[in-house]
Amino acid sequence: MISNKLTNNYCMIKYEGVRQGCISSPQLFNICSEQIMRDAFGEFQGGIKVGGQRITNLRYADDTTLVCNISQELMDLLRAVKTTSKERGLLLNTKKTKIMVVDDSHSDADRIFSVDAIEEVASFEFLGLVITAKGNCTQEIKRRLAMARRIVQNMTKLWKSKLLSFLKVRLLRSTAFAVASYGSESWTITSADKMRLDSFEMWCCRGS
């Protein structure tokens, strides 16, 4: 963005941002977002501990997740991120921002959502995965299997072809199985979920 200002017959030009498609844009954005988070966190000592390591945020490009153990910490941190972002020309989109309480009692939920009327959700999609407040993966597994089933059904002609019999297993692995298992490294699987996965695999093998 370029803004012009005429002062005493001189033209003062202020440059902000980069051109769309600029190859340096991702690097510059990462530098800017990293500084924003450093300024926002400051001496913040909250967050949660996973495997002995303190986790305060998860980031991928412009998708940012703030992780706190106390509702007041989350409110303060969210305001700090909003303020520091605005100072550098970035605005927090409250319509796309959600808060989810991962807690069986949800007793603290009413204290959190006074921050700019941000919506509370029981689940949300992050980097292609559905994360739920209960912490289980049953909903995500069902969704993944449904997507993979549609892929298999759309390839009916290939499964019936005798010319491609030697490639069917490879096709399954690179298409349906790849979609079904996306993000499976982070799944918490119950006995019922395991049965669903086994049934899906058997269904694919019979159909192909």
User: Whole-model pTM above 0.75?
Assistant: no
Full pLDDT tens readout for the chain, 208 residues: 333 443 444 444 444 666 777 888 888 888 888 888 888 888 787 788 888 888 888 888 778 888 888 878 888 888 888 888 888 888 888 788 888 887 655 554 444 555 566 778 888 888 888 888 887 889 999 999 999 999 999 888 888 877 777 788 888 888 899 999 998 888 888 999 999 999 999 998 876 6
Q: For the segment 28-60, what is each residue's pLDDT rounded down to a tens digit?
A: 888 888 888 888 888 787 788 888 888 888 888
What's the per-residue H, E or C state across the chain?
Answer: CEEEEEECCEEEEEECCCCCCCCCHHHHHHHHHHHHHHHHHCCCCCCEEECCEEECEEEECCEEEECCCCHHHHHHHHHHHHHHHHHCCCCCCCCCCEECCCCCCCCCHHHHCCCCCCEECCEEEECCEEEECCCCCHHHHHHHHHHHHHHHHHCHHHHHCCCCHHHHHHHHHHCHHHHHCCCHHHCCCCHHHHHHHHHHHHHHHHHC
